[in-house]
Amino acid sequence: MATKYLTPPLTDEALADLKIGDLVYLSGTIYTGRDAAHKRLVDLLNAGEELPVDLQGQVIYYVGPSPAKPGNPIGSAGPTTSYRMDAYAPTLIAKKGLKGMIGKGLRNADVKKAITEDKAVYFGATGGAAALIAKCIKEAEVVAYPELGPEAIRKLRVENLPVTVINDIYGDDLYEEGVKQYNEE
Amino acid sequence: MKTVEYQTIVDAVAKLCIDGNYYLGEDVMNAFKKGLENEVSPTGKDILKQLIENAEIAANEQVPMCQDCGVGVVFLEIGQDVKIEGGYINDAITEGVIKGYADGYLRKSMCDPFTRKNTGNNAPAIIHTEIVPGDKLKITVAPKGGGSENMSAIAMMAPSAGIEGVKKFIIERVRQAGPNPCPPLLLGIGIGGNFEKSAILAKRALLREIGETSPIPEVAELEKELLEKTNKLGVGPAGLGGKTTVLNVAIEYHPCHIASFPVAVNINCHAARHKSIEF
């Protein structure tokens, strides 16, 4: 369980160096997207059209922030539950080179397969620590689908956003390992 | 007969929505601190520290503790000798929710089930009304996030399943939910009634203070046992492994049909939010 510092775009070399349990501080640009935005992106791909953002090497944070108070770049911004993006994530990884996802909760077999075969990483952020996480977000700008409100795609500039590697390219899963270690039944 | 003005209700509900989202209950904060003392997983300890810090930031800076500011769930206890003046009480509550979510910079999360189009103002509220004796009006606002609500479940069990069946259902639910509902959790459980009654009992059980047990000794014993057993699952804070999986188990109990044995569990994340006012 090492501590690492990364700035997207993420390379395959950087992903090879990540193992479950690693604490990673992300800086630079990441994108937000959740249910509605993911559906639109995959619908565009299926229709053979271009996406409003270039996802090559990029990281999507599954978050629908609360509105920013005057003077703040963003409102509270903790992760939402990731399984709702499972239907879309493998397509974005395989076809558009998405390399990182930040969320909370379990992923399905298709996503884990995409992570190992097409090389990507699933990071966990602390669910509910939304006011704390917002401190790491320095700028936020809506770049697509403003009509979706909290579900719009935002470009964030983050500084040392703390996330933990949950699923790595080696097929390991921190949730499974963690529970196994502390189960007392 | 007591009279309560429409606008008084609007303003009270707005304030309860905002306060509920900014200020975590002291009982939950104390449960975090107790969990931190008992937790053996270093990662688990770190998560609990983050949750304490998060709650402090939310309160000090007056921002929502979680970006999911929830559905505006409102419990009303209306004394039968209370008169609401100036309009329909449910309209006042809806107006209060709209005002609270706008003024408090709270996230609006209500949408059309099919089109997924956001209603834009977090209306409508979900209102549970009970007429009670006397001339008091009690309003409780309990904002509830989607992540933990999605992990809630109901079982129409065969009576032969018995108390062991209840234990198995609840423990398996917490195990399967794993990290998804943002542990450490609070479990509200409704046993008995019928399909809808058990679900509403489960939600209502979440309004109890942490540590307040059922007045029925056998039920209190079951609360204690479920708390112990779910904390042996190893799920831990944020689901990353540890001993602090559930902070509280509260069970509401009700007679049921001779053919039925309904059990509902409403799972609440650690952002357990509810605030009340009484007129």
Give the pLDDT confidence of B59-85 residue by residue, as tens digits: 999 999 999 999 999 999 999 999 999
Look up A38 and say whether it is catalytic.
Answer: yes
**A66: chain B residues, CB-CB within 8 Å:** 63-64, 67, 69, 105-107
Q: What is the DSSP letter of A104?
A: B
Cis amide linkage into residue A8, ω under 30° from 0: no
**A74: chain B residues, CB-CB within 8 Å:** none
CB A166 within 8 A of CB A123: yes
pLDDT of chain A, 185 residues: tens digit per residue: 799 999 999 999 999 999 999 999 999 999 999 999 999 999 999 999 999 999 999 999 999 999 999 999 999 999 999 999 999 999 999 999 999 999 999 999 999 999 999 999 999 999 999 999 999 999 999 999 999 989 999 999 999 999 999 999 999 999 999 999 999 99
What separation in angstroms does the CA of A129 have from each of A55, A76, A136, B42, B61?
A: 26, 9, 12, 17, 14
**Beta-carbon separation of B53 and A184 below 8 A:** no
* CA dihedral over A86, A92, A93, A99, signed as positive or negative: negative
Q: Which residue of the set A38, A40, A99, A107 is catalytic?
A: A38
Distance from CA of B219 to the nearest CA of A (A): 22
The angle, 0 to 180 degrees and rounded to 10, between the axes of the packed helices B89-103 and B6-22 is 40
From B24, B6, B8, select the one nearest B186 (Cα to Cα). Answer: B24
Rounded to two decimals, the pTM is 0.95
What separation in angstroms does the CA of B248 have from each of A66, B25, B26, B269?
A: 28, 13, 14, 11
**Could you tell me the domains of chain B?**
2-20+65-143 (no CATH), 146-272 (3.30.1330)
**A72: chain B residues, CB-CB within 8 Å:** 63
**Residue A142 lies in domain:** 3-184
Q: Which of residues 57-116 of A touch B (CB under 8 A)?
A: 63-69, 72, 75-78, 80-81, 83, 104-106
Q: Which of residues 108-167 of A touch B (CB under 8 A)?
A: 124, 126-132, 134-135, 148-151, 164
Number of H helices, E strands in chain A: 6, 7
Question: CATH number of the domain that A55 lies in?
Answer: 3.20.130.10
